[in-house]
Amino acid sequence: MHRRNSEETMQRLIDAGAELFDKKGYHNVSIKEIGRLAGCNSALISYHFGSKQALYQAIIESQLEVLHQLEDGIEKEEKMSIANAKMRGKKQRINSQRLKQYLHAILKSQLDPRRHMIILYQELLTPSGLLDQDSWHKLTKMGDYVESLLIQSVEQGQLKAPVQDDDYAYVTFILTAITEMLFLVKDRPLSLNPENQPLEQLLDRLIGFVLRALMP
């Protein structure tokens, strides 16, 4: 019972810290504010995490874990599809839609107000220097999975290989930047979306535009 209460308290502190850091930035948030929003004594931040900085890192880690879970979900779905195909005696090719599915999953997660994903982008744009090397490495490698899906699509013949190997990184950067930018400007009118279509539809169109040159 005590362990469950501790876990619930830690989660409340993470949620409260994420909401406040999202709105005000790390340096403009006090531990008293976090404790007040979490509905518990601010001293519990030190008890459970050690410091405000350690809480911040735990929040970043929780956001990165969301992205990792999205990757796992895509991979598990693909493995199940391949296994089912084998049971039917058929050869299953890698799903050419996985890249699009993953980018849509990222956008959906970003648009979930409970996620406070803006913190990741704040950290990338203006590094706080508060993260340890492992967390910073994970943060700067968020596009690696997108690039791996792109390469697999080329190997399967679903996309043409770029002219130069560096082009994989360029296409990856564009695709991830589009997905992130749609989130950052979600509340603003866009000239490329005069009919105010759902962001998911706009993302589909933009992915198609970027990949058009690689279509076989």
pLDDT per residue rounded down to tens, the chain (216 residues) = 556 678 899 999 999 999 999 888 899 999 999 999 999 999 999 999 999 999 999 999 888 888 888 888 888 887 787 677 677 666 555 556 888 999 999 999 888 877 788 888 888 888 888 888 888 888 878 789 999 999 988 888 888 988 888 899 999 999 999 998 898 888 888 888 888 888 999 999 999 999 998 888
Q: Which pTM value belongs to this model?
A: 0.81
Residues 6+ apart with CB under 8 A from 58: 14, 49
What's the CATH number for 1-50?
Answer: 1.10.10.60
Contacts within 8 Å (CB) and 24+ apart, 113-119: 114/15, 115/63, 115/66, 116/18, 116/19, 116/21, 116/22, 116/59, 116/63, 117/63, 117/66, 117/183, 118/22, 118/183, 118/184, 119/18, 119/21, 119/22, 119/59, 119/60, 119/63
Query: What is the fold, at CATH topology level, of the domain defined by 60-214?
Result: Tetracycline Repressor; domain 2 (1.10.357)
Q: Calculate helix-pair angle for 52-87, 2-24, nearest 10 degrees.
A: 100
Domain map (residue ranges) of the chain? 1-50, 60-214
